Amino acid sequence: MASVLELTDVSFVRNRNRILDSISWTVDEADRWVILGPNGAGKSTILQLASASTHPTSGTVEVLGERVGKVDVFELRTRIGLAATGLARRIPAHERVGDVVLTAAYAVTGRWRERYESFDLERAAEVMDAWDLTELSTRTFGTLSDGERKRVQIARAVMTDPELMLLDEPAGSLDLGARESLLESLADYASSSLAPAIVMVTHHVEEIPPGFTHAMLLGEGRIQAAGPLEEVLTDANLTATFGVPLQVQHEDGRWRARAKRS
């Protein structure tokens, strides 16, 4: 199986603060990973590295067979789908939803003078249908609810038919109904044999979509455990990562965790 992402002994230091420490991690093309860990653990920083948005202080990052730092990152980034809050902030509030999705074909936000092929228009229509956005296509981004915005961000990432999909807390701040319907869409997407490798960051085991295969537990910049979901999501591993006694349950493809009763 081909690996799409390979971090080797990666450290990331800012202001003398070791944000990531000796991370070695491989993602294969059929993998669907979730990265779990408390606030400030370094989860978003890993996605920044995986999307070639930043460079490691030491160690190497290989994305889609290319060593970050040695290739044209602009070309590489068009092969990666990233849905993160920081990116959403750069989407102009007055931009129409249809254009937010379509402009992903050029890795830009804000429609300007690009010429779109009919192929791009058809693809945008198909993606908006899959992510329940067709009815919102003429609305402006600024008028959407949080849940609708998350869908648009993911559709934008899907639009380019990426070889690696990175999702930073896609279900964060959603209400129960919006969360559940987003998880259903993510599970559908992840179950397709045509879907790319996926890495999704979350704080909650409840947000792991059915069909995901692997988990990394990250605490204070270090990997606490990584591997197949069933091996990693144990009471002991979650307790060590989050620093409180936790017990975890797995039922019908979904996960739940809560404080262990003494």
* Cβ atoms of 12 and 57 closer than 8 Å: yes
End-to-end CA distance of the chain: 44
State yes or no: residue 53 binds Mg ion (CB under 5 A): no
Spatial distance between the Cα atoms of 103 and 142, rounded to a whole number of angstroms:
16
Q: Which does 256 bind (CB under 5 to 8 A by kind): Mg ion, ligand ADP, none?
A: none
Q: Which residue is nearest to Mg ion (CB)?
A: 44
Q: Which does 41 bind (CB under 5 to 8 A by kind): ligand ADP, Mg ion, none?
A: ligand ADP
- Min dist CB 5 to Mg ion, Å, is 18
Residue 131, φ and ψ in degrees, nearest 5: -110, 25
Exactly one of 34, 37, 101, 232 binds ligand ADP (CB under 6 A); that residue is: 37
Shorter beta-carbon distance to Mg ion: residue 43 or 179: 43
- Min dist CB 167 to ligand ADP, Å, is 12
In the DSSP assignment, the letter for residue 103 is G
**Helices vs. strands in the chain: H and E counts, helices first:** 9, 12
Task: Give the residue among 168, 130, 151 at the shortest CA–CA distance from 53.
Answer: 168
Size (the chain), residues: 262
Applying the rule CB under 6 A, the residues between 196 and 255 that interact with ligand ADP are none
Interface residue list for Mg ion (CB under 5 A): 43-44
Residues that bind ligand ADP (CB under 6 A): 14-15, 17, 19, 37, 39-45
